[in-house]
Structure 1
Amino acid sequence: MSASSASGSSLRLPGPPGLVPVAPARRSGAVPGLRHRPAAPADPAKAAEVDRRLEAWVRRLDAFPKAWTGDFAGFQFGRAVVLQHPGAADLERLTVAGKLLLAENLVDNCYCEEDEDRGGSSRGLGGRLITAQSALDPFHSTPELEAQWRRGVQADGPLRSYHGALKDYAVFASPSQTDRLVHDLARLHLGYLGEAAWAEIRYVPPVWEYLMMRQFNNFRPCLSIVDAVDGYELPEALYARPEIQRITALAGNATTIVNDLYSFTKELANDPSHLNLPQSAGCGVPSVLSSLDGVTLGHRCRSGVRGSLELWHEHAQAVPE
């Protein structure tokens, strides 16, 4: 798709009409050229109540040092889950969605992200993530060994968060819904490992390979819980159908492309080698750009953003009605 067709008035995404072309609006932080369906604004009172409950949960769990509280509050978990789940059945389910989102971010920050200065590293990441997966998918062995495993899980903040969040989710989710989420979080961990392996060798993938990795390392776990949070169940046999899996994969990556567009300047400022779609699509890593003589960094970044917008529109159009 060309840049002109991606931004033209003929673009039609699946679903209800009323797509909004976002004009440049620096004060609002909108990405120029990004089209989207209008979203219901988050209820501030509901978001604040979810945040209050999450803060109490974090304190009870001692999930992370108090010094980090401001950083995690800045993420606005309450607002995020209220936006993600406009049809949530009740506040308790919204709060559990917030617990899961917080725990996923805690594992990412403490285990994976080197530039967050919270202990994350690509070195030894596989061992940490397999233990994290066990906090969701329990270890079964002799009573003595299981007791040692439980002590290990309870000794670590990210593991306590994962274990506690999933336990609370399983209270209202069916066993099938819970198992679905466990497997989708395993997919997420596999994506973390792929990205970390590339970072270790400073490998910058072509766009197709980057998006292939992102199909694992994306927002799929947020989609996995929509039916349980809304108070119903998408039957397992239906969820497993190839066309549903395709829709889920496309939606997860489309959302992640938007995330890349909004976050890449911050990531570039913190770590110029941080892997992000605009980089793969044309912006900024020396190993990729060594052959692009005479092309400015600003031009490459703009090209990367344009390419990312085109990919977003193509992904959104590919989702069937």
Structure 2
Amino acid sequence: MPDPGLSPLPSSLPGAAARFGAHVLANAGANAGANGHVSGAEAAVGVLPGGFSLPGPPSVPVPAAGAVPVGEVPVGEGAAAARQPSPALERILRGPSGLGTASLHLARYEVPVAVGPPAPGAPVAGHPIPGLYHHPVPDPDPARVEEISRRIKAWALDEVELYPEDWEDQFDGFSVGRYMVACHPDAPTVEHLMLATRLMVAENAVDDCYCEDHGGSPIGLGGRLLLAHTALDPLHTTKEYQPQWAQSLHADAPRRAYRSAMEYFLQQSTPSQADRFRHDMARLHLGYLAEAAWAQTEHVPEVWEYLAMRQFNNFRPCPTITDTVGGYELPADLHALPAMQRVIALAGNATTIVNDLYSYTKELNSPGRHLNLPVVIADREGTSERDAYLKAVEVHNDLMRDFEAEAAALAAACPVPNVLRFLRGVAVWVDGNHYWHQTNTYRYSLPDFW
């Protein structure tokens, strides 16, 4: 396995900023034109909190831009030219070079492509959604997948008593081992991978048991989520009531899973990383509550309202721990940069729309009405189901391109090794998330829209 990488840099914004390059600012000055316009991505990384400006750019050669991805939805000539992979994007996908940077390279293809039909006779592990912008990834290491699958099932059964026997097929069908190994190829050990795997399983237990498939309901959800959240963010109360709270953490499967997964996470994470994760889980729970409130009032949100909810009810807690799982730390002040926050938010939003698209048929066949982006577009914009689905694909593609453009701009402006590795880790998580959805034919199938 690769070395976990360079030691974390001191958590000092001025110290990190002294290492910054300002390629993006230089490009902004060259491209501003007569009206002096600077793009949002360039402005986001140009000035740091407190008015700290980036230093001047060194001269760094970059490769030529790559081709437009195969299978893209056709767009106008100007938009197509603007959306071609930029040199900065190819630089982040390629990774850093030079002495001591070999461990920063992850298993990601250099040029964005959309997968075509498999070769005749080749094994098919699910079909990607036609026209969906994504990056293919190699199949994850089978030995690691097998070991993670074995360990997580033992944890679920023996340590937290997560599910009854009649749920075993669903647990196995989730293929969480393949999911997490695909999303974290740079994890230095199996135990690092288990950090993400336990948390993923615990989060899904809360979603299923509190919100959806296995007895979930919007009624009373806030109280259940609040008490479960104390398994992640512990209650500080009086000695008289502390034992009652501690006992409550074993009251149901979601709380048992949250408590145990968080205990393991705390053994490998820094206090800053743990607090970051708690904050993102609070975001997730807020999104659950918004969706539940709409269900109770039978409200179909506007498309922009739905996307706002999905920015909270999404996968963000998963890629945000990519440094913990990778065995290093992105310092808190760098993680908190507005440009970094935008990159993480866009990654979470894009991966969550992937879930909406791949789970569309599954949700249509489930009891009740499930909100997802195609359903909301069809209702609010008066389109057919097919046209709404295809428009949702376009929304995803726009989010993906924005994510990659913002990540490339930040990588160019802040070439600190841990920043570059974190950005690449998030990008690889995005790719692994799509891989799992595409290949999990136990759970997902595509609608007949093509």
TM-score (norm 1): 0.89
The reply on whether 1:140 has 2:233 as its aligned counterpart is: no
Label 1:255 to 1:6 Cα distance change in 2 as closer, same or farther (>3 A): farther
Q: 2:357 and 2:209 mapped to 1: Cα distance?
A: 24
1:251–1:316 Cα contact (<8 Å) kept: yes
Label 1:317 to 1:6 Cα distance change in 2 as closer, same or farther (>3 A): farther
| 1:220 Cα deviation after fit | 0.3
The reply on whether 1:19 has 2:118 as its aligned counterpart is: no
Q: 1:302 aligns with which of 375, 386, 396?
A: 386
* Equivalence for 2:344: 248
Specify the code of the residue in structure 2 equivalent to 1:33: G
1:12–1:317 Cα contact (<8 Å) kept: no
The reply on whether 1:83 has 2:182 as its aligned counterpart is: yes
* Equivalence for 1:43: 141
Identify the structure with bigger relative contact order (alpha carbons < 8 Å, sequence gap 6+): 2
Q: 1:220 and 1:212 mapped to 2: Cα distance?
A: 13
* Equivalence for 1:4: 74
Identity fraction in percent: 46
1:110–1:120 Cα contact (<8 Å) kept: yes
Q: 2:170 aligns with which of 57, 66, 71?
A: 71
Specify the code of the residue in structure 2 equivalent to 1:181: F
The reply on whether 1:207 has 2:300 as its aligned counterpart is: no
| 1:27 Cα deviation after fit | 7.2
Q: 1:6 and 1:209 mapped to 2: Cα distance?
A: 28
Deviation per CA, 1:216-269: give whole Å up to 9, x if none: 011101111100000110000000111111111001001111111100111011
Deviation per CA, 1:18-68: give whole Å up to 9, x if none: 222234679733100012122232112211110100111112221222221
Alignment of 1:115-126 (within 5 A): 116=213, 118-126=214-222
Q: 2:395 and 2:363 mapped to 1: Cα distance?
A: 20
Q: 2:127 and 2:76 mapped to 1: Cα distance?
A: 20
Specify the code of the residue in structure 1 equivalent to 2:325: V
Deviation per CA, 1:148-201: give whole Å up to 9, x if none: 011111121110100100110110110110111011011000000001111111
**Alignment gaps of 5+ in structure 2:** 1-71, 94-109, 119-123, 409-450
TM-score (norm 2): 0.64
| 1:281 Cα deviation after fit | 2.2
* Equivalence for 2:430: none
Q: 2:395 aligns with which of 308, 311, 315?
A: 311
1:22–1:33 Cα contact (<8 Å) kept: no
Specify the code of the residue in structure 2 equivalent to 1:194: A
SS in 2 for 1:140: coil
Alignment of 1:213-252 (within 5 A): 213-252=309-348
1:3–1:306 Cα contact (<8 Å) kept: no
Specify the code of the residue in structure 2 equivalent to 1:104: E
**Alignment gaps of 5+ in structure 1:** none
Moved more, 30-39 or 120-129: 30-39
* Equivalence for 2:192: 93
2:114–2:135 Cα contact (<8 Å) kept: no
Q: 1:52 aligns with which of 143, 150, 159?
A: 150
Label 1:182 to 1:253 Cα distance change in 2 as closer, same or farther (>3 A): same
1:22–1:34 Cα contact (<8 Å) kept: no
* Equivalence for 1:191: 287
Deviation per CA, 1:56-99: give whole Å up to 9, x if none: 11122212222212211110110110011111111001112110
Label 1:228 to 1:107 Cα distance change in 2 as closer, same or farther (>3 A): same
2:114–2:136 Cα contact (<8 Å) kept: no
* Equivalence for 2:254: 158
Moved more, 227-236 or 30-39: 30-39
SS in 1 for 2:231: helix
Greater helix share, structure number: 1
Q: 2:377 and 2:117 mapped to 1: Cα distance?
A: 21
SS in 1 for 2:365: helix
Label 1:208 to 1:18 Cα distance change in 2 as closer, same or farther (>3 A): same
RMSD (Å) for aligned C-alpha atoms: 2.2
Aligned residues: 305
Specify the code of the residue in structure 1 equivalent to 2:375: Q
The reply on whether 1:111 has 2:195 as its aligned counterpart is: no
Label 1:119 to 1:229 Cα distance change in 2 as closer, same or farther (>3 A): same
Q: 1:246 and 1:237 mapped to 2: Cα distance?
A: 14
| 1:3 Cα deviation after fit | 5.2
1:135–1:163 Cα contact (<8 Å) kept: yes
| 1:313 Cα deviation after fit | 1.6
1:153–1:160 Cα contact (<8 Å) kept: yes
SS in 1 for 2:299: coil
| 1:9 Cα deviation after fit | 6.9
| 1:213 Cα deviation after fit | 0.5
Specify the code of the residue in structure 1 equivalent to 2:341: Q
Specify the code of the residue in structure 2 equivalent to 1:251: A
Specify the code of the residue in structure 1 equivalent to 2:244: Q
The reply on whether 1:33 has 2:98 as its aligned counterpart is: no
1:21–1:34 Cα contact (<8 Å) kept: yes
